[in-house]
Amino acid sequence: MASEYIYVVIYPNDEISYTAEGVTFMCDDPLWIMISPQSCLQQLKNMILMNTGLIRKKEISTLIYRMPVAVASSFTYQKMHIKSDQYVSMMFSYHRSIGSIYSMELCVKLQDVGGSPSSSNNVEEMRNSSAGEGIPFLDIGRSRSPSFNAFVAPTQNTEIPDRRPFPNVHVAYPEGMADGLANSSEEDEIENDSGEEAEVVPETQPVQGERVIPSVVEPINVARVGALSSGTPNHYLHLSLGPMNSTNAEDIPSNYGLTGEMELEVGLKFLTKDAAMLAVKNYNIRRSVEFKVVESNHTRYVCRCKLFGDQCSWMVRVAKTRASRFWEVRKYQGPHTCLASATSQDHAQLDSNVICQHIFPMVQADATICIKVLQGSVESAYGYKVSYKKVWLAKQKAIARIYGDWDDSYNQLQRYFNALQTFVPGTIVDLQTRPYYVGNTLDRESVIFHQVFWSFPSCVEAFKHCKPLVSVDGTHLYGKYTGTLLMGIAQDGNNNILPIAFVLVERENTYAWYFFLTNLRRHVATQPDVLLISDRHAAIKAALEREGCGWEHNVYCVRHIASNFATNFKSKEAKRHLVSAAYSKT
């Protein structure tokens, strides 16, 4: 059966690059094939060669799997060399655990049978051979690996169309919301008194035994990425990917950026500048000393002790090598020879970025954790009492790392709803935006999110078999950008509730309710004589009175009336009589 096979994208060369997403395979014309997950290594190689028409002409010398690794709410990619049947089994098992990625990506290096790597190792030879033998393949044009894999459906011609132009989305800040935040910056201030000589960074690559300090990323837990099949062996559920990042895993200090307990030294390498900055900050915070940034740009990061000179000679210079993606400690004078100052209750370098790294696991486990608890954890770890605002900012950064940035989430709305309409045919979406102005100038490249209505085809169909009534209500949303969620609820013959329509609006007013009620009537509750149940909100009554709303019958919710009655007349007995009167037959 087709469901027993996995779609595999073949990149028939060894052109591999490193991007912000990690390992990326490059190819003019990658090929698609289908492979059984029960295959061993030799069967996998034979299947690739057979589908490309090169069996007995070429052999596979190298096979590399582009392995997605869950980091926060997205993926980064690493190389996994497929060397044995055990690697093949682990690759297929790991792929099954990630339900959001439909296809696997393999980089294949070919060579002549019994010979050296072929000089004609490219996709054209595969294309010509497969065409001659009548083997079909899917041509997807010039691609790099992450360009299509995120939304590949198990059909060849499925695409996510942009049904209408939707430029970058901006969300207007409510008044006072961004005060103190929009302009806040915790970039290290640079004191221009270095007097350092110019440095030419030699082109170096990490070699055997060199230390490479990775960014702080937890070892992956496959069980958190997706549901595994019941037959998955237990030892596949916990993969430690640390050895894949270095040629000598034992030389890598574990979580140096968080602990800062070891001494810095020349030759230490970091994957990013942020990782290097975090390590320097933690080193000084845990020793209760402060430093100043002398130079900070895209190639160098130089720091000195604040008492540099007669009292202390501590300094560190981290630079990015030209031919490598690593940041390396090129010069180091340490440790500190000055006396640590413990008079202050805060530390200048203990900023929200450092705090975010510390509290990240706690926020990931419970996003509702209170700031006071996080403050206590930071004080216990570092010995400093940090302000509420600083910890609050750190928590917002951690939430953004886990769930995504607020602004980016709004920018993904159009793509999300287009995906719903593509993969769930019949989904109803009405997304509206407003023009975006910079001062008095219209920005034609951007718009501001206004409101959106959506309903699923299963909800529309289910309502046909429910009672002919719809209850509507709204609830406030809390976050960086406030809003209101409006919902329509139906009821089946057994009094079970069924959500049938949803709306996100800026606030609960007449225009928002009119937008919701007209779409609800036009697309979902299309039967005649449907009863609308609501509270006595003035905006709802005004919306129902507007022409074109479409609702003929409207009654008020007894629960809301009783709640409002009890608020004004503090009598449980009177409330009980009111509810009884509402339910009595007249």
Question: What are the average pLDDT values for consecutive 10-residue runs of the chain, which has 586 residues?
Answer: 68 75 78 82 83 76 84 74 85 76 82 61 46 38 38 38 45 42 48 43 40 40 36 47 43 45 76 82 78 83 82 84 78 77 67 83 85 84 82 88 83 88 92 89 88 95 93 87 92 92 93 94 92 88 88 82 77 78 74
The helix/strand/coil state of 129 is helix
pTM over 0.85: no
CA dist 40 → 83, 84, 86, 88, 232 (Å): 11, 8, 8, 6, 16
- The backbone torsions φ and ψ at residue 289, rounded to the nearest 5 degrees and listed phi first, read -125, 155
CB burial of residue 165 (10 Å; 0-12, 13-18, 19+): exposed
Cβ neighbours of 234 (radius 10 Å) = 6
pLDDT score of 510:
92
Region of residue 353 (phi > 0: left; psi between -120 and 50: alpha; otherwise: beta): alpha
pLDDT score of 26:
78
pLDDT score of 261:
58
pLDDT score of 148:
33
Contact 442, 436 (CB under 8 A): yes
